[in-house]
Amino acid sequence: MIQIAVLGYGTVGSGVVEVINTNHSSINKKAGEEINIKYVLDLRDFPGDPIQDKIVHDYEVVVNDPEIKIIVEVMGGVEPAYTFVKRALLSGKSVCTSNKELVAKHGAELLDIARDRNINFLFEASCGGGIPIIRPLNSSLTADEIDEITGILNGTTNFIMTKMIEEGSEFEDVLKEAQEKGYAERNPEADVEGHDACRKIAILSSLAFGKQVDFEDIYTEGITKITATDIKYAKALGKTIKLLAFSKKVGESFYAMVAPVLLGPTDPLFSVNGVFNAIFVHGNVLGDAMFYGSGAGKLPTASAVVSDVVDAAKHLHRSIMSFWSSHKLELTDISNSQRKFFVRVKGNQQDDLAKIEEIFGTVKPVIVPGVEGEFGFTTEILSEAEYSAKAAKLGTVINRIRMR
């Protein structure tokens, strides 16, 4: 019997307990040995819940118990999770976590500790909820050199953008609905400003490129500036808007960004709607691959955590994770990255198009019936720096959205 402990009995923690109890027989068969939850650490008590008999309030009970072989960390946040996880690994216990903040900030260090002790630090659920992506990057795609990862990595923002496209609603109205349905937190900043997706693409990029990608270095732009008028222009273009997180190797340079992007119907991410996530990977041998599924939620995330528990149980004394070096990967400034842009400007096409083309070169005007006092246009391929300089010179830009 393999004894495990769960740190945190919130949404994901209770989901882990539920998954293990519901699929106990098949999980044990796949693990090759019975997995038993000995402790659940939480500050609270849960009277009436069968888990109450396993509740402990002191981490020392967990970390000092030699019977505990695997610890599941689902508390969230950097502290005390980092302190608890590091102590667990140093004491020879494998750790499985869904904590993207922890992995993005301390992943390289914790992986090194696990490797040195022939145990495991696993984090499948930290990126994409229930979508299997860490394990493919760690095993199935190791013959490839990955040169691009692009994903819809946040279910909250994808739900909001989907509803805005479908209903033509304003951001604030859809955000309120998302909060009422439990898809968005009371304080939604981490989601809607892109910070959540930023941490996830930092983790995926670190694994794919083999060096530490600091999330603080990634240019990040959320969806709070997208309006119902932007949606009208997107529809006029036959496109949709998604919050994309992407990293790409171009020659010897590496770019990473999180930002709203206009996608056309031929793009594989175009039809990923609602709270679903998808991750597009390009390798030099494989070519294109896409991973799709539930990106968040209690049971999808818990399922990914428990899959790591099974993996850790099968490899109690052998480290199986790839490691990214703690050496920092220097990202190239996005000012050199190139793409087309959609731009909204004050004025009207008849009076202002000549000046715009004088500055931007050839553009394609976009007119939306009923939208007055402004119009839109799409540019040819420009670098970020070129676009910024031209937009500043024009001086009448209302908004701009990158195109893919």
Spatial distance between the Cα atoms of 82 and 86, rounded to a whole number of angstroms: 6
Is 9 annotated in some ligand binding site? yes
Spatial distance between the Cα atoms of 15 and 57, rounded to a whole number of angstroms: 19
Q: Which run of H or E residues covers position 163?
A: helix 155-167
Is 7 annotated in some ligand binding site? yes
Contacts of 48 (CB under 8 A, 6+ apart): none
CA 284 from centre of chain:
23
Name the packing angle between helices 155-167 and 228-236 (round to 10°).
Answer: 70
Is 394 annotated in some ligand binding site? no
Query: In sequence order, what are the beta bridge partners of 249?
Result: 254
- Both tokens assigned to 381: 């391929």
Bridge-based pairing of strands 2-7 and 35-41 is parallel
- Both tokens assigned to 245: 């997180």
Spatial distance between the Cα atoms of 13 and 301, rounded to a whole number of angstroms: 10
Is 166 annotated in some ligand binding site? no
DSSP string across 277-296: EEEEEEETTTEEEEEEEE-S
Bridge-based pairing of strands 35-41 and 94-97 is unpaired
Is 163 annotated in some ligand binding site? no
CB 93 within 8 A of CB 68: yes
Q: Count of alpha carbons within 13 Å of 11, Cβ hemisphere only? A: 13
200 included as an active-site residue: yes
CB 191 within 8 A of CB 198: no
Spatial distance between the Cα atoms of 126 and 102, rounded to a whole number of angstroms: 9
In the numeric block, the tokens 């599924």 are attached to 293
Which is catalytic among the residues 38, 163, 200, 242?
Answer: 200
Is 185 annotated in some ligand binding site? yes
Spatial distance between the Cα atoms of 244 and 151, rounded to a whole number of angstroms: 6
- Both tokens assigned to 167: 């209903």
Number of residues in the chain = 404
CB 20 within 8 A of CB 306: yes
- 249: closest CA among 163, 329, 166, 135? 329
Is 100 annotated in some ligand binding site? yes
Is 13 annotated in some ligand binding site? yes
Annotation: binding site for NADP(+): 7-14
Annotation: binding site for NADPH: 100
Q: Could you give the residue numbers annotated as active site?
A: 200
Annotation: binding site for L-homoserine: 185
Annotation: binding site: 7-14, 100, 185
